[in-house]
Amino acid sequence: MSNCIIAQSGGPTSVINSSVVGLIKANEELKLYDKVYGGLNGIEGILNKKIIDLSAKSEEELNTFTYTPSSGLGSCRYKLKPLEESTEEYDKLLNILSELNIEAFFYIGGNDSMDTTAKLSKYAKENGLNIKFIGIPKTIDNDLMYTDHTPGFGSAAKFIATSVLETYLDSSVYTNNGIFIIETMGRDTGWLAASACCAKINGKQVADFIYLPERAFDTEKFLKDVKEKFEEQNQVYIVASEGLRTADGKFLTELVCVSQDTFGHVQLGGVSQYLRSLILNSGITKRVKSLELGVLQRCAMHCASNIDIEEAYLAGYEALKYAKDNKNGSMVAIKREGNHPYKTSFFEVDASKIANNVKYFPTEWINEEGNNVTLEAYEYFSPLFEGTPSLCFENNLPKYKVFNK
């Protein structure tokens, strides 16, 4: 008997569960493994033997699970110790996998998860163990190298663009409107904030300014731009990434950020409030509102992209095919074949090449002033928003299913 296991790691997305179902369905068709296990709470849960049999789940449960946001198997931010420091955790994990006759381990995640995938693959090979480790991409930040985009990003970007449209209209109802600032996620890159360029009314972009981490933030220029725009139209709409930095590389909110996650990343948030304070202190106007979108960006299934759900599913399906082809230490990546019509394909990339690298928003897609994006950005984003999922409903609310409770 041979089995496989799949687990989720890092921050959730709206479509992460679709990748799990894609892998389960691929195994039903290809009949590669006897059982598909699910590791609850990622590596951390597997080390504690929190494992369930996903093969035993009903068709109805899996269908509902597909259209459930967030990590339905639970997640973790667990960092394995460096191999040169200790092999204890690696040996324990591999022993647990061997006890369950696991021949393939699938890990859904971002940069840190691909680092874990690469390390485990290398260690298993060095110790002659017949276990394949394959990565399935996931991150709303869209910051993984080589892949055109990541499952989860399209839905987050669609939610952002939709929220920008709706809040723009809400902030435009008076004869004397003020300044509205919306803050998106995006620690190191501006992909999420830039997607706001898709929010248009009568063909005109509603965001007056879009600020990304890829350009150093200049307070003096920011206030000058905002003042001029406000005097021109008595209203300003601003989109800002949480990861905005000064010319010396410091986060705008770094002085007030004191918490870190288990990977040592400063936990951000509060840029919109910081910008609001700058504007108020400058005396441009007292009518300034700010909104931090927060975790809504990664769990708003009601505003998800159907294309995103489908690609997440296919990434899981493709990952099982990689195991069938005896690939190891690889990640499934997406290649964009064209925009009109939109078409993609999948290809293999070494997980070690993804690990600890960042795909930045192209600087050539940022305007010369550094306060907006170009038409190329719009053309990149817009195909990713296609379609709306058909959710299951119960008592007039979405019906969701998770397996980690």
How far is it, in rounded angstroms, from Cα 118 to Cα 123? 9
Q: Which amino acid is at 55?
A: S
Of 112, 141, 308, 350, which residue is the catalytic one? 141
Active site (annotated) includes residue 261: no
d(CA 115, CA 251): 25
Q: Would you say 155 and 303 are in contact if contact means Cβ atoms under 8 Å apart? A: yes
Q: What gap in Å lies between CA 37 and CA 334, rounded to an integer? A: 25
Is 293:160 a contact under the CB 8 Å cutoff?
A: yes
C-alpha closest to that of 241 among 197, 177, 176, 304: 197
Q: Residue 334, class by beta-carbon neighbours within 10 Å (0-12 exposed, 13-18 middle, 19+ buried)?
A: buried
Q: How far apart are CA 394 and CA 290, in angstroms?
A: 34
Contact 305, 387 (CB under 8 A): yes
Residues whose CB is less than 8 angstroms from the CB of residue 224 and which lie 6 or more positions away in sequence, other chains included: none
Q: How far apart are CA 141 and CA 366, in angstroms?
A: 17
Alpha helices in 31-72 (DSSP H): 42-47, 59-66
Q: Which of 276, 290, 287 is nearest to 176 (CA)?
A: 287
Enter the tokens of residue 331.
């990640």
Residues recognised as catalytic: 141
